[in-house]
Homo-oligomer: A and B are copies of this chain.
Amino acid sequence: MRGSLPISRRSVFKWRQVAIGTLGSAKIMFLILGCLALTILAVANRNRTGSSSLMGWTGDVDRSYSPRGRYSIVMNTWKRYDLLKKSISHYVSCPKLDSIHIVWSEPDPPSDSLKRYLNHVVRLNSRKDQQVELVFDINKEDSLNNRFKEIKDLRTDAVFSIDDDIIFPCSSVEFAFTVWQSAPDTMVGYVPRMHWVDRKKGNGKYKYGGWWSVWWTGSYSMVLSKIAFFHKKYLKLYTDEMPASIKEYITKNRNCEDIAMSFLVANATSTPPIWVKGKIFEMGSTGISSIGGHSERRTECVNKFVGEFKRMPLVPTNMKAIDGRDSWFW
């Protein structure tokens, strides 16, 4: 049939075929691309209200005004005003933040210009729905115990304890807070550490386990208070009931207040802490963990505290908390 068509009709037919074919596959391509774009859009927006609302999945009222619905930052600082300014500027914009307490242990009180700057930053960067309170907690003595001093007028149950040199996205802070709400009696943090039995030294002796041992084994029994949530009742417990000998040791050695806090909470609850998955960004590297002999000093602390508590209260665990919104697999 086709062979018998005259040239003009044959070429017209051919062109029609090509045109229909091209248009057809263009349509299909267009459809596929459209579907793909819609899927990507939907997936990208799955946690936003848009796509969920379409399905009738609307969340409940905001409870961030109850004492359980907000948190306070307790920030330890020491003569690093630039870092302090950066930190405060950042955290003040985080949702659900109620107040910031700066633990001040320097011999001189904070300068007027520093106070003016920080108050200005807090006013400027606070979210519209929350006026964050900024308080300097001035201490006479320079001691690492100051970071866990009881704060009498704290309005929230949750304390977010953080060093002045750590910048952490607001979304991550909020997620860790969510995790803490599920387990308000334990410590919830981003830097896990472990205690290991020291088989060389014999019974009842322990070794401090750093990041590599935690990563390798997936086990931990402490989270460091340089970035952790805990209940405000542990500030009172630390202030009133931490053995004086441990407090003196911490003041003298300028170390291990975080291990002491982990011992205190585990001793009171028999409960392991919770490690939240996330990366932290440290701006300064002058922390004590970068000093040589760090691991040995921490091991010494662990064994000293076991002696004082008359047992090893820390409870090991393997749990890691992740954000369900970022995880697609069952």
B183 pairs with A218, CB closer than 8 A: no
Stoichiometry, copies per complex:
2
Asked if A163 is at the interface (CB within 8 A of a chain B CB), the reply is: no
Q: Is B320 within 8 A of A322, CB to CB?
A: yes
Q: 0/1 per residue, A270-314, Cβ < 8 Å to B? A: 111111010100000000000000000000000000000000101
CA distance A279 to B330 in the complex (A): 7
Q: Are B217 and A46 in contact (CB under 8 A)?
A: yes
A209 adjacent to chain B (CB < 8 Å)? yes
CB atoms of A319 and B316 under 8 A apart: no
Task: Report how far A194 CA is from B55 CA in the complex, Å.
Answer: 14
User: Is the beta-carbon distance between A327 and B195 smaller than 8 angstroms?
Assistant: no
Question: How many angstroms from the CA of A178 to the CA of B14 in the assembled complex?
Answer: 71
- Contact A218 to B47, CB < 8 A, known contacts A181-B272, A271-B182, A272-B182: yes
Q: Which of B182, B186, B197 contacts A58 (CB 8 A)?
A: B197
Distance, CA A264 to CA B318, complexed state (A): 29
Pairs across A and B, CB under 8 Å, 9 listed: A46-B217, A47-B218, A60-B316, A68-B270, A179-B319, A181-B271, A182-B319, A277-B327, A320-B324
Q: Beyond the given A57-B209, A68-B270, A319-B324, could you list 20 further A-B residue pairs with CB under 8 A, ordered by the A residue number? A: A46-B218, A47-B217, A55-B213, A56-B207, A57-B217, A59-B196, A60-B195, A60-B314, A63-B315, A66-B270, A178-B317, A179-B319, A182-B274, A182-B319, A183-B183, A185-B185, A218-B325, A219-B324, A320-B321, A320-B324
